[in-house]
Homo-oligomer: A and B are copies of this chain.
C-alpha cells in the first residue's frame, strides 16, 4: 500500500524545456505542461506559443515565462535557444499536424530533443523525411502516444509478452467520440476547425486524430505488426472534408506456418454518448484481456476456463511494468494526465541516459519516430483502401 514518490526524480536536475504551440485556446498544450510538471523532471523556460506573435507574447506572460524567452516563431526560438548556454534541452511540439515536420526539423538539427504530438506529420513523405532527420540527429525524438503511459496498458503488454494469452488470434480496438456529431467546424470552434481541415491535419480525419491512437495502442500492447488493412471511411456530416468514421479490418503479420491474428478497428467522432471511448480487446488461445481508457485503472484478464479476473493498478495481480509507472495506491485512480506525465518521465530518463552516456533501462518505453511513421502510413493506407472500395492495402 505505502508507496514512495518514486516518480519524483530530482536527483537529476530538471530538464530545460521549450514549447511550440499551446497558447491560449489550445487544449493539448496545457496537457503537455501539466504532464511535464507532475513528476518534476522538466522546467518550462521558453516558448513559441502561437504563430501569432502578439498571442505568443500574451500566452508567455500568462505562463510566467521570461519575456526574453517568449518567441514569435519556433525558428527564432530554435536559433536563439541553441545559442544560449542555459538554452532549452528539449522542446514540446503541440501544434496542428502540418507544422510538426518543419518545427521538429528546426530543433533536431540543433541537437535539441523533440517531444512531439501525434500524428507525426500530415503526410507520409514528410514522416519518412522526419525519420531520416531524427535518425541522423543526436537528439531524441519522442512521440506522445500518451495512452501507452497508462499502467494497465503496460500491464497488458507485459502479460502478452509473458505468454499469458497464448498465441494471439483476435485484436479488436476502437476509439469513439461524439464531439463532431454536428458540424462544429462551421461554428468556428478552434479544435474542430483544424482537425477537419486537410491543410492542417492531412488526409485523415478521425483516422488521424484518434484512429492512430487506437492502432498504436493495439500494436504496443500485442507486440504485433500490422500487415494489411481493408477500410471503409465516411464523412457523415454534410460538408465535412475528412473522415469522421472508419471501420477497418486488420491482418497482422505472422511467423512462418502460423495463422495470422486478425482484428478490427473502429474510430468515430460521430457516435453520441462516447467521449473518449478508447477500448482494446485481445484474445489468444489461452485467454483474453480487455481495457478501456475511460476507466483506465482496471484490466480484465480472462484466462480460458477460469473466472474472469479484474486486475487493478497497484492491486494484486499487477506486475512490475505497471508498478513502475504508478504513483499512488490502487483504488485511488490515476488518469489521463498521469499517463501523459509518464511519457514525459520516460523521455526524461532517456534524455538523462543520453546525456550521461549510460545505458537506458530497458523498462523505459516511449513511442518513437518509427511509431510515428507507422501511424501516418496507417492513415494513408486507410484512405487508400477506402477509396479503392475496401481493397486490402499492405503497410
Contact = CB atoms under 8 A, between A and B. Distances in A.
B333 A295 contact: yes
A136 interface: no
B272 A179 contact: no
The interface centre, meaning the residue of A13, A178, A309, A312 with most chain B CB atoms within 10 A of its CB, is A178
A327 interface: yes
Interface string A258-283: 01001110101011111111000101
A357 interface: no
Interface string A19-51: 000001111011101100111100000000000
B232 A251 contact: yes
B62 A8 contact: yes
B24 A4 contact: yes
A310 B170 CA distance: 22
Contact of A30 (B293, B305, B315, B327): B327
Contact of A308 (B4, B190, B273): B273
A34 B62 contact: no
Contacts of A30: 3-5, 7-8, 327
A299 B25 CA distance: 27
A131 interface: no
Interface in A289-318: 290, 293-297, 300-312, 315-317
A389 interface: yes
A132 to B, nearest CB: 34
B303 A272 contact: yes
A331 interface: yes
A154 interface: no
A123 B271 CA distance: 36
Contacts of A247: 249, 262-264
Interface string A175-194: 00111011010000111100
Contacts of A63: 8, 10
A191 B301 CA distance: 27
A273 B290 contact: yes
A330 B190 CA distance: 17
Given A302-B272, A308-B310, A336 B337 contact: no
B283 A272 contact: yes
B304 A27 contact: no
Contacts of A37: 37-38, 40
A288 interface: yes
A64 interface: yes
Given A232-B249, A275-B331, A335-B332, A8 B33 contact: yes
A158 B273 CA distance: 19
Contacts of A306: 316-317
Given A1-B179, A38-B337, A172-B266, 12 more contacts: A2-B25, A10-B63, A34-B39, A170-B245, A230-B230, A273-B283, A273-B308, A275-B312, A305-B316, A307-B317, A309-B309, A337-B338
25 contacts: A1-B191, A2-B25, A4-B30, A13-B64, A37-B38, A169-B270, A170-B236, A178-B288, A230-B249, A234-B262, A236-B285, A264-B266, A270-B285, A271-B283, A271-B288, A272-B302, A273-B287, A273-B300, A276-B332, A293-B332, A307-B316, A332-B335, A332-B336, A333-B336, A390-B392
Closest 4 CB pairs of A and B: A275-B331, A5-B30, A273-B302, A276-B331
